[in-house]
Structure 1
Amino acid sequence: MEYIIKFIYGFILPPGLFFTLMVILSLWLRQRNRRLFFLTGGFALLLYLSFIPLTGILLVHPLENSYKPPAHPNGDVIVMLGGGATLGTPDMNGEGQLSGDAANRLMTAFRLYRETGLPVIVSGGKVYPDSGVEADIAKRELIALGMPANKVIVENKSITTRQNAINTKKILVRFHYVRPVLVTSAFHMPRAVRNFSQIGIRVGPYPTDYLASKKLSLYPGQFVPSDGGVAFTAIKEYAGLLTTLF
């Protein structure tokens, strides 16, 4: 019964509601205006494909499978890229919290530190007026987890992946690091590696924060409209990869 309710909700709540309304409009136009019937029907199909989870999974899988986490990372420093933070929100030892993507990256960076003892460079600034400074919040949280303050290096000016690479390179040169282990979301790793490579930095990718399971499973829920977040994220990354060509 619960699955039936979820199925119905998918079509009567946004964004599935927009698809449902477009289908109703298309059917109403069927005998009135054939051209508009096909136009609205095509748009309804596009909306549907954009919002179902299966589309997002198919789009994000190639990105997330581009690199695999090495069993034994070989590097002299860990570089963690930011991925969003809130401003002024209460935390256990201060204000501001990392978003879900960034929090997953932070936990991976910390676990790598525990395994290797390598210092961590956290890169990320204040992207929007109402967002927190990602690197500063990350440092506070790493220290709270038990990492020594002198093991955390902050780069808090970057607001794009390209700036992450450029500003991190300055730190790598200053401290004579030559084998950075790059930690970021799996879907973001291809673009991040490309940005670092373009400025002469060869990184050891360590992807984390996967959006899709390794194995694709087909079940009714994959065809029910949802928020389309995974598809949007994947399309954004493909667009970002295109910009690295220019």
Structure 2
Amino acid sequence: MFELKKMISALLMPLPAMLILGFIGLLILWFTRRKGLASCFIAFAFLGIFMVSFQPIATSLLRPLETENQPFVPSSTPVDYIMVLGSGHVIDKAMPITSELSRTALMRLSEGMRIYRLFPGSKLILSGYGGGSDISQARMMAKVALALGVNKSDILLLETARDTWEEAFQAASVVGDKNMVLVTSASHMTRALYEFNQAGLTPTPAPTNFLASNKIKQPWDRYAPKAKYLEQTERYWHETMGQIWQRIRDTAANVEKDKADEANKNADINPVEILSEDDSSTTL
């Protein structure tokens, strides 16, 4: 189920979806005489690629999501744990260790370490599975953290969590009722908080890796299609699909729970009542 979810979400990303539409248009053009329909598919694909990589559109989609939670500001409230959610890495000995983390993971870890240094005695929880690699995301982040001066005794690893739901429930068994700060990308924070609340935790959000800015003034940067704006649209769509999946999953879980409750209710019968007079004398 996890792999299927990832495959479907990858195909539904803006760029693959537009390329699929364009390819369908080419197939119609090559193998049928419906040139008008083919032109519509191809034109829609080109227009779609332009729109999803156009700054005014991409930023207007992502920025509201990124600004739902404010950046972390230190207060007098003690912090026991800082949890940093993983986000990809590679294993390449030709690179410095900091380059083996994805940009997103490095941004998250940097923010987590900043908060860690503000609260002496706190501990870093690093999460993320291997994703086909021999070394988990959590362990790779730990290597970078150690290289940057974090004490080994202050690092806890959750190496088997594959998604935010698993990260949240594994964290709950570690954190308990202690105070925790949650570090993840700004676009991902709202969905992550929902999962952690479902797991019984109320972490303080510390969003990072902000991508969308409405302060871009240069027209050649603002109005030219760029890959970085395509990334913003992808982040928005990824989180939108994630929230849709959350609702589907929770609805299905509630339906199953209602069925189980109804079955338990119907089965709530005194065992004596289902014994006949003949059965009552049976030796057990």
TM-score between the two structures when normalised by the length of structure 1: 0.77
Aligned-partner SS, 1:68: coil
Residue-pair matches, total:
217
Partner of 1:193: 193
Partner of 1:41: 43
Q: Matches of 2:35 and 2:152 in 1, distance apart?
A: 68
Following superposition of structure 1 onto structure 2, how do residues 54-203 of structure 1 map, counting pairs within 5 Å? Answer: 54-73=56-75, 74=77, 75-90=79-94, 97-117=100-120, 118-127=122-131, 129-130=132-133, 132-173=135-176, 177-203=177-203
Partner of 1:208: 208
The one-letter code of the counterpart of 1:235 is W
Q: Matches of 2:141 and 2:94 in 1, distance apart?
A: 14
Contact 2:127 2:157 in 1 (8 A): yes
Shift of 1:169: 1.4
Q: Matches of 2:134 and 2:225 in 1, distance apart?
A: 29
Partner of 1:231: 233
Question: What RMSD over aligned residues (CA atoms) do the two structures have, in Å?
Answer: 2.9
- In structure 2, stretches of 5+ residues that fail to align are 1-14, 27-33, 249-284
- Could you tell which deviates more after superposition, 98-107 or 68-77? 68-77
Looking at secondary structure, tell me which structure has more helix per residue. Answer: 2
Aligned-partner SS, 1:245: helix
Q: Matches of 1:38 and 1:48 in 2, distance apart?
A: 15
Higher relative contact order (CA 8 A, sep 6+): 1
Q: Relative to 1, partners in 2 of residues 1:40 and 1:167: Cα closer, same or farther, differing over 3 Å?
A: same
Contact 1:125 1:156 in 2 (8 A): yes
Shift of 1:211: 0.9
Q: Matches of 2:88 and 2:141 in 1, distance apart?
A: 10
Q: Matches of 2:90 and 2:44 in 1, distance apart?
A: 39
Q: Matches of 1:99 and 1:132 in 2, distance apart?
A: 14
Shift of 1:41: 3.3
The one-letter code of the counterpart of 1:134 is Q
Aligned sequence identity (%) = 25
Shift of 1:223: 3.0
Aligned-partner SS, 2:100: coil
TM-score between the two structures when normalised by the length of structure 2: 0.67
Q: Relative to 1, partners in 2 of residues 1:214 and 1:67: Cα closer, same or farther, differing over 3 Å?
A: farther
Partner of 2:245: 243
- In structure 1, stretches of 5+ residues that fail to align are 1-13, 26-31
Aligned-partner SS, 1:181: strand
Q: Matches of 1:208 and 1:83 in 2, distance apart?
A: 13
